[in-house]
Amino acid sequence: MTEKDVKRRLAAIFSADVKEYSRLMRDDEVATVNTLNDYRELMKKLIKQHHGRVVDSPGDNLLAEFSSVVDAVQSAVAVQKELMARNVALPDDRKMEFRIGINLGDVIVDKDGIYGDGVNIAARLEGLANPGGICISRTAYDQIEDKLPFGYEYLGEKTVKNISKPVRAYRVVIESDEITPKVGKEPSHDRRDRHRNAIEEKKARKERLKERKERHKERKRKKEIRLEERGIKPRIKRKNGFSIHLRAYVGVIGLLLIINILTYASTNRIWFQWPAFGWGLGLYLHWFHVRKAAKIKQQGRTMSGFRRHLGTYVGVIGFLLLVNILTYTSTNRIWFQWPALGWGLFLFFHWQVFAPRSSKKDQ
């Protein structure tokens, strides 16, 4: 045959052989041959259903070709699933498991046979496959990556016998629960696996975050119980209430000072000191109450504290009103409403924070 007579074509080559065939034959030749013939007939039938052609089947090997890599891989998956189902009925030492290698490459056609590196690579990939598994080349993988509902595990570059260049190999993951941690994976060519791993990692992060939140809530709940038992929690709340009060005082009085400055030219009056003084008295009483209450258990005393606050407010504002009335003829100013308003704001705040809580306890 001359170079001109050589007929070449691109084909998907399917190569399969039996794991531990020699041991099976040694243990029971007749049973092994019968099982091999049954399995081989099944494989031929499935290959034909997927538009393939069996080229040769010497010994425990089977060689087939397909015009489509998609058909070749689908045929291989169907073969392995059927053989797996049949092996269930056999004892472990009599199971017959095939390894399948698939390559897309150039082949030389001579009558009904095919030859060349394309065939040799498929045979080497078959040797890299797990028993009952499928191993494909990079050229095959590039054609089916997004076309079939399977996973693919990159096995790396493999140096195989009688092939000059390393072969990039991929394992076909037939079932989702067969996926194993990827080692040496090509990040630019395994989009399907990356997407699956990203989803699984996202779910795992959510679960970890949820567990941390639950643990934090449980620790916080236990801490609150311990503080309640020691009478510490009420003191913490009172201190927090005073700090809020202090910040509100500084903010509001600061705002009133700015308003007073901006309106001074038209009114010629300085009045911000009155609400500052009135509210300042309330702030002082609040601070005094916090210090005193720190030594006393809080339970049952919040409403009485509000009543004392209200009585103090009425007394002080009444006194300021009396002073305003007595000095009105000389000053011609009504100013008592400013401390009344300022302190009244705090009184309302005190009622909102403490009185409702006390009423809930009473219930």
Which residue shows structure tokens 């916080």?
A: 220
Which H or E run includes 114?
A: strand 113-115
pLDDT digits (tens, 9 = 90+) for 177-213: 444 444 444 444 455 555 566 676 777 778 878 888 8
Q: What is the pLDDT of residue 260?
A: 81
Contact 308, 316 (CB under 8 A): no
Range among 21-35, 193-207, 245-259, 318-332 with highest mean pLDDT value = 21-35
- 99 band by pLDDT with thresholds 50, 70 and 90: very high
Q: Residue 301: is its pLDDT beyond 80?
A: no
Mean residue pLDDT across the chain: 80
Phi and psi based region of residue 94 (left: phi greater than 0; alpha: psi -120 to 50; beta: remaining): alpha
| Interatomic CA distance for residues 78 and 31, integer angstroms | 24
| Interatomic CA distance for residues 262 and 250, integer angstroms | 18
Q: What is the mean pLDDT of residues 23-42?
A: 93
- Each as own residue / partner, the long-range contacts of residues 117-123 (CB below 8 Å, 24 or more positions apart, any chain) are 117/163, 118/11, 118/13, 119/13, 119/15, 119/63, 120/162, 120/163, 121/13, 121/160, 121/163, 121/167, 122/13, 122/14, 122/15, 122/63, 123/15
Type of residue found at 104: L
| Interatomic CA distance for residues 150 and 77, integer angstroms | 10
Tokens of 150: 């399977």
Q: What is the pLDDT of residue 147?
A: 87
| Interatomic CA distance for residues 245 and 251, integer angstroms | 10
Q: Name residue 63's beta-bridge partners.
A: 15, 56
Q: What is the pLDDT of residue 363?
A: 47
Contact 317, 343 (CB under 8 A): yes
Alpha helices by DSSP H, 165-232: 191-230
Based on its alpha-carbon atoms, the radius of gyration of the chain, rounded to whole angstroms, reads 44
pLDDT digits (tens, 9 = 90+) for 222-238: 777 776 665 555 555 55
Which residue shows structure tokens 């009105």?
A: 328
Alpha helices by DSSP H, the chain: 21-27, 29-49, 69-87, 117-128, 138-144, 191-230, 233-267, 273-293, 302-331, 337-362
29, burial (CB in 10 Å: exposed 0-12, middle 13-18, buried 19+): exposed
121, burial (CB in 10 Å: exposed 0-12, middle 13-18, buried 19+): buried
Phi first, then psi, for residue 191 (nearest 5°) are -65, -40
* Residue environment code for 91-115, b if the CB has 16+ CB neighbours within 10 A, otherwise e: eeeebbbbbbbbbbbebbbeeeebe
Q: What is the pLDDT of residue 131?
A: 92
